[in-house]
Structures are given as structure tokens and as C-alpha cells.
């Protein structure tokens, strides 16, 4: 695992080594084992055009020797690569290349990719099974090639103006370049989307002119012309008849592919373990690691001593005991919010998902014992694990009720005061009834959004229509069942822009590599072919996954209700962090920015502190926004 960065002059501006080294130094947490830069001017003279530099910091996982140093060049000196990620099938690809007489100087996937690109160009991406972000410079073609993995597990950002194309694994590397730093401005147009979702949707960021290279895309820059191309699309099971297979056959096929994905991710020259929440997905990964010969698996869990409804440690402990794991636990307390500046610094943007706190802490705990950790990320997106999927089907029935019945239910739900427990019935009912009668995109946004369109409008006076924006992601193709479309939307929005950003920044902040077997693209393609009714069967989510894992985990874990990786942020803000919240959000400095309407912020804080409504997640989004403003502007 690594950090990468670089800059390409589009109109002849020079690039100095000090700038390139400063950019690279911002990414040392992503790769503390080694670092390097390559400046084209060093090889072709200070006046070479175009000016180009590549930088890398390395977390050594495969081939720990100096042979894995980056930037890496091919034997002919024609191509240079910087690369972040793991290609799990590189061994087979490498053997095939060696069989054709191609010499290797390392045992790395980095060198394998470089040779494949030399043979196939952009088409080499089709062969790679894993997670990656990479940059390759081809001297003969004067072409810079950037690419990102299919699901977006590894990040890649870029800045573009008339003179420069600047890229990096994190925005901080880009801002270390004088051109990007001088142009640093908040992207005000993206603010309503951030307030709505809790993140800025790809390809935008909250910085003007800094963009995300979308998952499953590559970028080429040659002679000042830049193009972005999609090379893979997430499959969606709408309008396609699945193969005629029995439930047992689907379960066997799923289990075989998941086993294969886990086994591939056990290749490592450093110690590895797994995050374990006690939920089905992480428990399945740990069980299959043991079956694949990983020995006594080191597992890591986190919990909350002051809020039992959020604490999953007893369930994780049950799984660890059942599977004979070497288990480690960590406790989060309200004081952990002291991590807010650290988290914002690693995200480079405000981030509305407060579970970034425990994710970072469990990664930090795990890094004391291992360098690689497998996770259960992706299981909910593939097999309908979230309550929102059940709500979507329930809403189809609800919408057929008489209007007077629906209005009465909505009035009653809206009047109930909100608690701060994980499954607070009043809060969940209000959220369901507020959106259940709306069209599918608006309905679903009401369940996954951090703030409602009304709250966003009050805060920033925006005419942004989040439902219309969100609706662009829906591919219904005339289907009656909303589930396939909703799974697809999750895979293309919430997963890469929230969950995977959180996982990458939290683990890389701790110099830990995270691997996600459920996000193996071949498993994703298989999951898309499984009939929707085997994912959400009646009211049971992940039905086919539970069937596949029968006998491998305790029954109470397999049939346990979904529990997200949340934090009791609402309770914290009403109790121990009350002063921190008000002193930050209601300070003269914050109120004077003019970005948000002060009276709307005060009303949101007052409503939450009074117990009338639980706005914990919304206030966390505002808190990280203010800390980000203090840090960057």
C-alpha cells in the first residue's frame, strides 16, 4: 500500500525537485517504509518539455526488499510507474509474462502492471483483480496514464488548470504544489450536496478545480489534451433473467467465490488480521480466513462503554471464541472527538460520517499487531443488508394505503420526541413516514441523507434539488422491484464516496492496509446475477449469504439483525461534548463566515440539545465543515 502523486506541465512551466518532494512528504503516513521521486528533468535536462515528476511513499507488503522501490522504471527506460494498491492475481499474471520471456527484477505487482501496460496499454486494467490507483508515464508516447480500480477502493484526485495537471492519493499532496495552493478556493456549488449526503459526490470536491477520478475510469494526458474514460461498469440485475439455479446452487456458487476472494487476499509478506464487529460480513471473512489456512486469526473489535445500544463487542467476542481467534478490543469514549482535527486533516475535506472515529481507532489498534487487515465492507451493498432496503419494499405497500391513513401516521410520527439510541423507534419512524409517500429517488434520499432538503435550504438558501440530483443515479429500466436499482445506487454512490473513503483514510492514517473480499469485482458480478428475492427474502436481508454460511458461524450471529458501525454522536453532543459543539459551531468566527445562515445553525443546535429532535449526524457534518474551514481557509 502506498501514496502516489505527481505533476505534469501542460504549457511548458518548470517543475522543481523541492516541490515534488514536498508533495510526496505529505503522504508519508500512507507509506512509511520507503519513498522516492523521479523528475523528468533529471534525465532529460532542466529545459525538457513537458516537465513531469512522480512521487511515491511505500508501505511494503509484497517483496519487502529494495527491489520494490518506486518510482519504478522498465528495463528500457521508456516507462515509469507509481502505484498504490494490491493486485491479488499478480502472481499468475507474472508467471505468464515470465513464460513469454519477459525478465523481472522484483516479486512485486508493481512491476507486473508495468509490463502488462507495455503489452496492452489501457486494456491491461481488465486483467487486474484487486484495488489500485496508479500513474504511468510513457516517454516514447509522451503520455501520462492515471487509473483507478473498479469499485473505488483506492483514491485518486487531480487538479487541472491551463498550465498543470497535478494528482495525488490525497488532496493534501495536490495542495503542496504552488499552482494548486494559489488557486485554493472553496467550491461553494458543492456545499448543498455535502450537507445533503455528508460527502461530496464524485467527481467533485469542496475545492474548486480539484476532482476525483471516478472508480473504473482512467485518465490520459498527451500534448495538453486530457480525456477520462470508463473501462468497467458495475453490473445491475434489471431486465435480465438470472440463470435457472436452485437456492442451494446459488449458495454454493456464492460461497465458492467468496472463499476464493478471501484466499487471494491472504497473500502477504507481513502479518495480517481482520476487523471483527460480530456482524455477519466481518464474521464470514474471519471464518473463511481460518478455512483458508490463515492459522489463528488476529481479530480487532471496538465498542462504547457509555452506550450499550451501539456496543457490538459481546457479539465480536462470541465469534472470536467460536473460531478460536486471537482477539483484541478497544473502547471509544466521548473524548475521542478530540480526533476531529486529525480526521479532517486526513480526509482533506469535511466528512459527515461520524463512524470515522471508531474506524480510525480500530485501525490504530490493529496496526500495533498487524500490517494488513481484512474487512467485511461491501456485504450490505451486494446482499441488501441495510434497513433502507426493507423500508423501500415496505413503502411500496404503504403507498397503497388510503391517504387519510398515511397522513395520520405521518403526523403522529413527526410529533414524537427523539432519543439517541441506535434503534430509537421515534426517530426511525419519523424518517420512514417523512419520505415513504414520495417517488423512489426522493424517498430513498430521505432515508440515507444526512439532512433533509428543507434543512439544507434553511442552512444555505440553496435551490439545489437533491432528489433530482440523486435521481440521476437510478437505472430502473421499467422494473417494478426497486431493490436492484437501490443496490446499484449504493454501489455507485454511498460505497465509494462514504464507506471506502472512510476505510482508506482511517487505515492509511494508521499505516495499515485494509482488504475487502466482498468487493472482489468477480464476486460483485456474481452477486448481480443472483435473483433479488434471494438477497431480501420477505423481511430477511442477506438471505442467500446466510444460507451459504450456515454451520460456519453461531446461528445467533448468522440471524442477528443488521447493526451498522455507528457512534452515539447524538448522545455525546447532548452530554459530554455539549460545550465543544456550541463553542465551535456558534462561535463568532463560525457565525461570521457567511457560508451558512447563523439562525438556522442555532435552531438546529437548540432542537437537538432540547431533545426535540436527534440531529446528531447533521451537527457532526456541520462540525467537520467548520473545522475544515479553520484548517484550510
Q: Residue 186 to residues 181, 210, 235: CA-CA distances in angstroms? A: 12, 10, 35
CB 565 within 8 A of CB 277: yes
Angle between helices 500-509 and 340-347 (to 10 degrees): 110
Q: Residue 625 to residues 71, 73, 313: CA-CA distances in angstroms? A: 35, 41, 31
Provide CB contacts within 8 A for 32, sequence distance 6+. Answer: 57, 59, 511
User: What's the CA gap between 346 and 505, in Å, rounded?
Assistant: 6
Provide CB contacts within 8 A for 25, sequence distance 6+. Answer: 35, 176
- Examine the residue annotation and report whether 124 is marked as an active-site residue of this protein: no
The span from the first CA to the last CA of the chain, in angstroms, equals 31
Q: What share of the chain is helix, strand, coil (3-state, %, to 5)?
A: 50, 15, 35
CB 243 within 8 A of CB 533: no
Helical segments of 125-210, H only = 171-175, 178-182, 191-197
In DSSP terms, 226 is beta-bridged to 221
User: What's the CA gap between 215 and 152, in Å, rounded?
Assistant: 4
Closest residue by Cα to residue 83 from 7, 31, 10: 31
Question: Looking at 2, 5, 124, 365, which residue is catalytic?
Answer: 2
Four-residue CA torsion sign, 341, 342, 344, 345: positive
Q: What is the DSSP letter of 499?
A: I
Catalytic residues, which ones?
2
Amino acid at each position: 500500500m502506498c501514496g502516489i502523486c505527481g505533476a505534469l506541465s501542460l504549457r511548458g512551466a518548470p517543475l522543481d525537485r523541492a516541490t515534488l518532494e514536498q508533495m510526496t512528504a505529505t503522504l508519508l503516513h500512507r507509506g512509511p517504509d520507503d519513498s522516492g521521486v523521479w523528475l523528468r528533468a533529471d534525465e532529460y535536462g532542466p529545459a525538457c518539455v513537458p516537465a513531469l515528476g512522480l512521487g511515491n511513499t511505500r508501505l511494503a507488503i509484497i517483496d519487502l526488499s529494495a527491489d520494490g522501490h518506486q518510482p519504478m522504471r522498465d528495463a528500457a527506460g521508456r516507462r515509469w510507474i507509481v502505484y498504490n494498491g494490491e493486485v491479488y492475481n499478480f502472481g499468475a499474471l507474472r508467471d505468464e509474462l515470465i513464460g513469454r520471456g519477459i525478465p523481472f527484477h522484483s516479486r512485486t505487482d508493481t512491476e507486473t502492471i508495468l509490463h502488462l501496460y507495455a503489452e496492452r496499454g489501457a486494456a491491461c486494467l481488465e486483467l487486474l483483480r484487486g484495488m489500485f490507483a496508479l500513474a504511468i508515464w510513457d516517454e516514447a508516447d509522451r503520455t501520462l496514464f492515471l487509473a483507478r480500480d473498479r469499485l473505488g477502493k483506492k483514491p485518486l484526485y487531480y487538479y487541472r488548470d491551463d498550465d498543470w495537471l497535478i494528482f495525488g492519493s490525497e488532496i493534501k499532496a495536490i495542495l503542496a504544489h504552488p499552482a494548486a495552493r494559489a488557486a485554493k478556493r472553496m467550491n461553494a456549488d458543492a456545499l448543498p450536496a455535502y450537507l445533503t449526503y455528508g460527502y461530496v459526490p464524485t467527481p467533485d470536491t469542496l475545492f474548486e478545480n480539484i476532482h476525483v477520478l471516478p472508480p473504473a475510469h482512467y485518465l490520459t494526458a498527451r500534448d495538453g489534451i486530457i480525456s477520462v474514460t470508463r473501462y468497467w461498469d458495475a453490473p445491475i440485475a434489471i431486465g435480465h433473467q438470472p440463470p435457472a439455479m436452485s437456492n442451494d446452487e446459488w449458495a454454493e456458487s456464492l460461497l465458492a467465490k467468496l472463499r476464493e476472494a478471501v484466499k487471494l487476499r491472504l497473500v502477504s509478506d507481513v502479518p495480517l488480521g481482520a476487523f471483527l464487529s460480530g456482524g455477519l460480513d466481518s464474521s464470514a471473512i474471519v471464518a473463511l480466513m481460518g478455512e483458508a489456512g490463515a492459522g489463528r486469526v488476529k481479530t480487532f473489535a471496538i465498542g462504547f462503554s457509555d452506550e450499550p445500544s451501539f456496543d457490538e463487542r459481546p457479539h465480536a467476542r462470541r465469534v472470536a471464541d467460536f473460531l478460536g481467534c486471537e482477539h483484541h478490543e478497544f473502547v471509544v469514549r466521548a473524548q475521542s472527538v478530540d480526533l476531529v482535527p486529525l480526521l479532517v486533516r486526513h480526509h482533506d475535506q469535511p466528512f459527515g460520517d461520524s463512524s470515522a472515529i471508531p474506524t480510525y481507532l480500530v485501525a490504530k489498534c490493529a496496526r500495533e499487531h498487524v500490517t494488513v487487515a481484512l474487512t467485511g465492507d461491501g456485504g450490505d451493498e451486494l446482499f441488501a443488508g441495510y434497513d433502507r432496503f426493507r423500508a423501500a419494499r415496505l413503502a411500496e405497500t404503504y403507498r397503497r394505503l388510503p391517504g387519510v391513513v398515511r397522513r395520520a401516521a405521518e403526523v403522529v410520527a413527526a410529533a414524537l420526541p427523539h432519543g439517541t439510541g441506535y434503534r430509537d423507534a421515534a426517530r426511525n419512524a419519523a424518517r420512514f413516514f417523512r419520505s415513504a409517500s414520495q417517488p423512489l429517488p426522493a424517498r430513498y434520499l430521505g432515508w440515507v441523507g444526512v439532512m433533509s432538503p428543507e434543512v439544507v435550504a434553511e442552512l444555505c438558501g440553496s435551490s439545489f434539488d437533491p432528489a433530482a440530483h440523486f435521481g440521476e443515479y437510478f437505472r430502473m429500466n421499467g422494473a417494478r422491484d426497486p431493490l436492484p436499482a437501490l443496490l446499484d445506487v449504493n454501489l455507485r454512490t454511498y460505497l465509494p464516496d462514504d464507506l471506502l473513503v472512510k476505510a482508506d483514510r482511517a487505515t492509511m492514517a494508521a499505516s495499515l492496509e485494509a482488504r475487502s473480499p466482498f468487493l472482489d469485482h468477480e464476486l460483485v458480478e456474481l452477486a448481480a446475477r443472483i435473483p433479488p428475492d434471494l438477497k431480501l427474502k420477505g423481511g430477511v436481508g442477506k438471505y442467500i449469504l446466510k444460507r451459504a454460511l450456515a454451520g460456519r458461524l453461531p446461528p445467533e450471529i448468522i440471524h442477528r439483525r443488521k447493526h451498522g458501525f455507528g457512534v452515539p454522536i447524538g448522545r455525546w453532543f447532548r452530554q459530554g461534548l455539549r460545550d465543544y459543539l456550541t463553542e465551535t459551531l456558534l462561535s463568532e468566527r463560525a457565525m461570521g463566515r457567511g457560508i451558512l445562515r447563523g439562525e438556522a445553525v442555532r435552531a438546529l443546535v437548540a432542537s437537538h440539545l432540547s431533545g426535540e429532535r436527534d440531529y446528531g449526524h447533521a451537527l457532526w457534518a456541520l462540525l467537520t465543515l467548520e473545522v475544515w474551514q479553520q484548517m484550510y481557509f
